[in-house]
Structure 1
Amino acid sequence: MGRTPTITRDRLLDVAEEIVRKGGGAALTIGALARAASVSKGGVQYSFASKDDLVRALIERWTSQFDAMMEGETGDDPLAFVRRYIAATRASQQAMDAKMAGLMVTYLEDPANRQETRDWYRGIFHRLGGGSADARAARVAFLAVEGLFLMHMNGIDEDGDWRGFLDDVEAVLARLTS
C-alpha cells in the first residue's frame, strides 16, 4: 500500500498557473512549483518529469477548457462556429492573461508542439472552408480574433480594450452577414 499523495496533479497545475500569473513563464520551474506547493522537487517530478512536461500539461489543460467552451452544435455553419469561437475567446480571457499566453510562446519552440498547433488551425480552417460570403466573413472574423489574441499576448490590452475590440468584430460580422 503506497502513501497517499499530499498534492494532486490538478492541484500542482493550479499552483503552476498562479506562479505564471504572478511571475510569467520564466518564474515557472520545478523548484518554484515545489516550494509554492509545499512538496519536494521529487513530488513534483512524480507528476511532471520536466518543465516541458509541466508546460505541456498546462497548455493541454487550457486547450481542453477552451474546447469545452466551444462545445455545442454548429454543424457545417461557419458563422455559428466563429460566433461560438468569439464567445469562448471572450470568456477565456478572464483566466488567460498576457503572462500565461507568453508561456504558450515557449511551448511553440518545440517542433512537435508547433505541428500540433498547425494541425489545430488546419482543423479550424477546414470548418470555416467554402467560398460563400458567410464563410469568407467567418474566416476574416476568426483571423481578427486571433490577431487580438496575439496583441493580448504582447500586453497591448493594458487598458482592458479587449472586450470592446471583440464587440467590434461581432458587429462587423453581423453587418457582413445580414
Structure 2
Amino acid sequence: MGRKPTITRQQLLDLAEEIVRTEGAKALTIDALARAAGISKGGVQYSFASKDDLVRALIERWTSQFDAMLITDETSSPADLIRSYIRAMRASQPAMNAKMAGLMSTYLQDPDNMRETRQWYRGIFERLGEASAEAQTARVAFLAVEGLFLLRIVGIDEDGTWAGFLDDIEAVLERLLDVRRQ
C-alpha cells in the first residue's frame, strides 16, 4: 500500500500556472514544480509523468474552463456565438496572460495536440460556416479576437490595452451587424 499523496493534481496545476505567470513558460519544469510544491520530483511525476503531460494538463484545464464560459448552444446565431466568445475572452483575461499563452507554443509542438487544437477550431468554424452576411461578419470578428489572443504571446497587453482592443472588435461587430440589418 503506497503513501497517500500530500498534494493533489489540481494543486500542482495551480502551482504550475503560478510558475508560468511569474517566471514564464520556460521556467516550468518538473524540478521547478517539485520545489514550489515542496515535494520530490518523483512526487510530481506521480501525477505528471513528463513535462509534456504537465503542459497538456494545463492546456486541457484552460480549454475546459474557457469552453464552460462559452454560453451558447448549437442553435445560437453566429453573432451570438462570437459575442459569447468575446465575453469568455474578457473573463479569462486575468487568468491568461501572455506568458500563459506562450505555453501554447510548447503544447502545439506535439502533433496530437495540434490535431486536437485544429479539431476545436474546426468545430467553431463549422458553427460559423453559414453563407449569411451575419456568419461572415462573425467569422471576421472571431479571426480578429484570435489574432489578438496570439498577439498576447508577444506581450501586447503589458500596458492593459487588451480590453480596449476587445472593445474595438465588439464595436465593429455590432456596427457591421446593424448595417447589414438595415
Fold shared per TM-score above 0.5: yes
Residues in 1 aligned to 2:171 and 2:76: alpha-carbon distance in whole angstroms: 22
For the 8 Å contact 1:74–1:81, the answer to whether it is kept is: no
* Superposition TM-score, scaled by structure 1 size: 0.96
Partner of 2:28: 28
**AA paired with 1:62?**
W
TM-score between the two structures when normalised by the length of structure 2: 0.94
Inter-partner Cα distance in structure 2 for 1:72 and 1:131: 20
**1:167 counterpart = 2:164:** no
Deviates most, 137-146 or 70-79: 70-79
Q: What percent of counterpart residues are identical?
A: 72
**Structure 1 match to 2:155:** 155
Alignment of 1:37-116 (within 5 A): 37-73=37-73, 75-116=75-116
CA distance in 2, matches of 1:48, 1:157: 31
| Counterpart code for 1:48 | F
What is the Cα deviation at residue 115 of structure 1? 1.1
Indicate conservation of the 8 Å contact 2:72/2:80, yes or no. no
Which 5+ residue runs of structure 2 have no aligned equivalent? none
Aligned 8 A contact 2:74 2:127 in 1: no
Question: How many residues are treated as equivalent by the alignment?
Answer: 178
CA shift for structure 1 position 76: 4.1
The 2-side partners of 1:97 and 1:79 are apart by: 26
Cα deviation 1:121-142 (Å, max 9, x = unaligned)? 1110000111111000000000
Verify the 8 A CA contact 2:19 2:27 in the aligned structure 1: yes
With 74-83 and 127-136 compared, the bigger mean Cα shift is at 74-83
Residues of 2 paired with 1:70 and 1:28: CA distance? 29
- Code of the residue aligned with 2:151 in structure 1: it is M
